[in-house]
Amino acid sequence: MNPLLSIKQFPDYEKIKPEHAVAAIKTLCADSKQAIEHLLDNEPANWTTYERLQAIDDTLSKAWSPVSHLHAVMNTDAWRQAYQACQPIISQYAAEMSQHTGLHRFYCALRDSDAFDQYDEARKKLVNDAIRDFRLSGVNLDDDKKAKYQQLMQKAAELSTTFSNNVLDATQAFHWHSSDATELAGIPDSAKALFKQLAEQNGVKGYWITLDFPSYYPVLTYADNRQLRETLYYAYNTRASDQGPNAGEFDNTAVIEAIMAVRVELSALLGFDHYAALSLANKMADSSDEVIHFLTDLVNKSKPQAQKEYAELQAYAEKHLDLPDLQAWDIAYASEKLKQAEYAISQEQLRDYFPVPKVLDGLFDIVGRLFGVQFEANDNLTKWHKSVSSYTVKNSDGEDIAYFYTDLYARQGKNGGAWMNGAIDKISHAGHQQLPVAYLTCNFIPPVGDEVAYLSHDEVVTLFHEFGHGLHHMLTRVPYSAISGINGVEWDAVELPSQFMENFCFERQVLRSMSAHRHSGEQLPDELFDKLTAAKNYHSALQMLRQLEFSLFDMKVHAEYDTDHPCDVMAVLDEVRQQIAVIPSPDYVRFPMSFSHIFAGGYAAGYFSYKWAEVLSADAFSRFEEEGVYNKAVGRAFKREILERGASRTAMENFVAFRGREPDIAALLRHNGIVTESSV
């Protein structure tokens, strides 16, 4: 029996093998299509039929979810092949469904039915969103154009996979190896232990450094060896391009051109001026001009302070580090040294205070208090790797409401970064409640030997961030998968709960409760906490500009190119950097070639969402600052108006219901310590 065919609440990861994937996906897509046609032909357009259609989709999505998840976290050749074989089948199915005239007619009939007026706001919004999405998927196109649309969507999916595989291959193609420990002067012991472990895994003695973030980051931040920093910087920033140690081998230049050509064609087909307009059609922001204006406003408010921060860094590096010609590969290093000099605090010093089990307990405690839920380890679920854990979420009556898996540590064959994915959606069908299940994936430095793993404060923030996404998915009360949890939420609002959760990592009581020093067991002392909060906004304007550079680059690439203007992404990047950048970067940098968010993920003409959502999250948290960070009533209101609602209302309606007014940019600038003329 193929274990992917009938997943109820939990996939059985011990039984799922790559060879099951293709057969299951093929069968389920074919069965789903048949079942949908049968319902549309024989059943009335009412909510009961809707729920039956939803159940058909859900069976397929529960099979696809572990396939794409295992491909991302256990990326063996076999999983890669299986995934690549499934992907065209899934994309074609999704494209056909999104253009299905029968389904479109079904939703229009629901909207026009007498019962519609009696629907609650969630059902109404679901139906209207569906009709909008059909329009965006070209349901009104004639048959030739529809076929063209499907071709383009499939090509886009294939190109995305090629793009990320190139990035992964380019990342894995590089390593640096040495037996000479003196070359690693300055690098923290935790990272050196990892390099040693990597060397052992590769059958050699000494230290093995890769371009994975847990290797790259400590070298750039701490290595006294300037040559080593430069070597890593050069390799990292030229990945998958025509430059660098593997120049031309995994080059994404032509892949990006092809991706942009497909996007331009797609948007023209649907009657949009450019891809940015298509991307914004279902976002909170209304137009590319509005977004560019929003970002430029933040650039103007942040740049003077960023220039000051950089000038200070240059002066410090010249005087104290003997680096009169500060280079791109010196920035993180010099920045960390200056930070230590000013605040005598380092992420590595903080790492000794945050053992993973204690951090998780602290996280569960604060979330429990604010939102009235409890977390329990659940050892009954099967896992895909020995370092994975699983949990049950219970409400205040002790009833199960959700489940999640944590997969926290970096390892070979696991995609980098941190993310939350829904494994199972909340739905109700024929009186049966299916509870949501989430994957929380990070790439922290794994435990070494018998010791538990310790997190830097930055990593604690990452964990809270992803947990915020997880809460959005798991605490939803909306029983329709299209709009429950994160599903259907505008992209530019989706980071609200995650960025909101980060704020608690800068609260004294929260940090104390989840810290215990590696040797003394002592909680984070007040003195370190004070330095941590003082250091929080260190170089915040420089960091703000970096994010704004990515966001503007993304928006301009997608807004300025149309069928008459072929895409030259490096030229767009240069133009944006001329407007924004305070820190010079070498000519060989090809950062767009590994910018997976916009070329392989869902952030195309949407990277600005991070900043947009930061405005929302900062402003939402400011209500907690006003009324008390542990204020239960405010916590319950946040849960009720935002976390539980999913996309059953617009993000603006959710926000206004919680905050009592529309969002304001002031809290974000204040939280970042950015002083503007108007706030002086």
Mind telling me the catalytic residues?
A: 466
Complex with Zn ion: residue 59 or 441, whichever CB lies closer: 441
At position 612, the amino acid (one-letter code) is W
Query: How far apart, in whole angstroms, are the C-alpha atoms of residue 377 and residue 394?
Result: 11
DSSP-based three-state secondary structure for 568: coil
Closest distance of CB 510 from Zn ion, Å: 20
**Burial label, 95 (beta-carbon count in 10 A; 0-12, 13-18, 19+):** buried
Complex with Zn ion: residue 138 or 470, whichever CB lies closer: 470
Q: What are phi and psi of 431, to 5 degrees?
A: 80, -5
Closest distance of CB 230 from Zn ion, Å: 31
User: Of 511, 502, 423, 491, nearest to 466 (Cα)?
Assistant: 502
Query: How far apart, in whole angstroms, are the C-alpha atoms of residue 262 and residue 95?
Result: 15
Inter-residue contact 292 to 555 (CB < 8 Å)? yes
Inter-residue contact 186 to 224 (CB < 8 Å)? yes
Complex with Zn ion: residue 277 or 442, whichever CB lies closer: 442
Give 386's contacts (C-beta < 8 A, 6+ positions apart): none
CA distances from 30 to 59, 88, 125, 374 (A): 12, 14, 29, 41
Closest distance of CB 573 from Zn ion, Å: 23
At position 407, the amino acid (one-letter code) is D
- DSSP E strands in 262-344: the ranges are none
Closest distance of CB 486 from Zn ion, Å: 10
Inter-residue contact 618 to 568 (CB < 8 Å)? no
Closest distance of CB 308 from Zn ion, Å: 30
Complex with Zn ion: residue 250 or 638, whichever CB lies closer: 638
HSE value, Cβ hemisphere, 13 Å, CA-based, for 649: 17
Complex with Zn ion: residue 243 or 498, whichever CB lies closer: 498
Closest distance of CB 498 from Zn ion, Å: 4
Closest distance of CB 495 from Zn ion, Å: 5
Closest distance of CB 466 from Zn ion, Å: 7
Q: With both helix axes pointing from N to C terminus, report the angle between 356-371 and 457-474 in degrees, rounded to the nearest 10.
A: 40
Complex with Zn ion: residue 355 or 468, whichever CB lies closer: 468
Query: How far apart, in whole angstroms, are the C-alpha atoms of residue 122 and residue 134?
Result: 18
Inter-residue contact 399 to 59 (CB < 8 Å)? no
Residue labelled with tokens 């980060």: 502
**Burial label, 205 (beta-carbon count in 10 A; 0-12, 13-18, 19+):** exposed
Query: How far apart, in whole angstroms, are the C-alpha atoms of residue 209 and residue 204?
Result: 12
Query: How far apart, in whole angstroms, are the C-alpha atoms of residue 209 and residue 28?
Result: 43
Give 180's contacts (C-beta < 8 A, 6+ positions apart): 206
User: Of 11, 485, 446, nearest to 191 (Cα)?
Assistant: 446
User: Of 147, 303, 241, 111, nearest to 594 (Cα)?
Assistant: 241
Complex with Zn ion: residue 219 or 486, whichever CB lies closer: 486
**Tokens, residue 576:** 């944006």
Closest distance of CB 494 from Zn ion, Å: 7
Inter-residue contact 604 to 598 (CB < 8 Å)? yes
Closest distance of CB 263 from Zn ion, Å: 23
Closest distance of CB 617 from Zn ion, Å: 10
Radius of gyration of the chain (CA): 25
Complex with Zn ion: residue 130 or 642, whichever CB lies closer: 642
Q: Please give, one letter per residue, the 3-state secondary structure of 24-44.
A: HHHHHHHHHHHHHHHHHHHCC
At position 3, the amino acid (one-letter code) is P
Phi-psi region of 394 (alpha: psi -120 to 50; beta: other; left: phi over 0): beta
Closest distance of CB 499 from Zn ion, Å: 7
Query: How far apart, in whole angstroms, are the C-alpha atoms of residue 474 and residue 422?
Result: 9
∠ CA 350-352-354, nearest 5°, is: 80
Complex with Zn ion: residue 265 or 495, whichever CB lies closer: 495
Complex with Zn ion: residue 490 or 495, whichever CB lies closer: 495
For binding to Zn ion (CB under 5 A), which residues are involved?
Answer: 495, 498
Query: How far apart, in whole angstroms, are the C-alpha atoms of residue 491 and residue 495?
Result: 8
DSSP-based three-state secondary structure for 70: helix
Name the closest residue to Zn ion (Cβ).
498
DSSP letter at 352 equals T
DSSP letter at 435 equals P
Closest distance of CB 371 from Zn ion, Å: 19
Query: How far apart, in whole angstroms, are the C-alpha atoms of residue 611 and residue 290?
Result: 13
Query: How far apart, in whole angstroms, are the C-alpha atoms of residue 406 and residue 306?
Result: 37
Complex with Zn ion: residue 498 or 596, whichever CB lies closer: 498
Complex with Zn ion: residue 518 or 546, whichever CB lies closer: 546
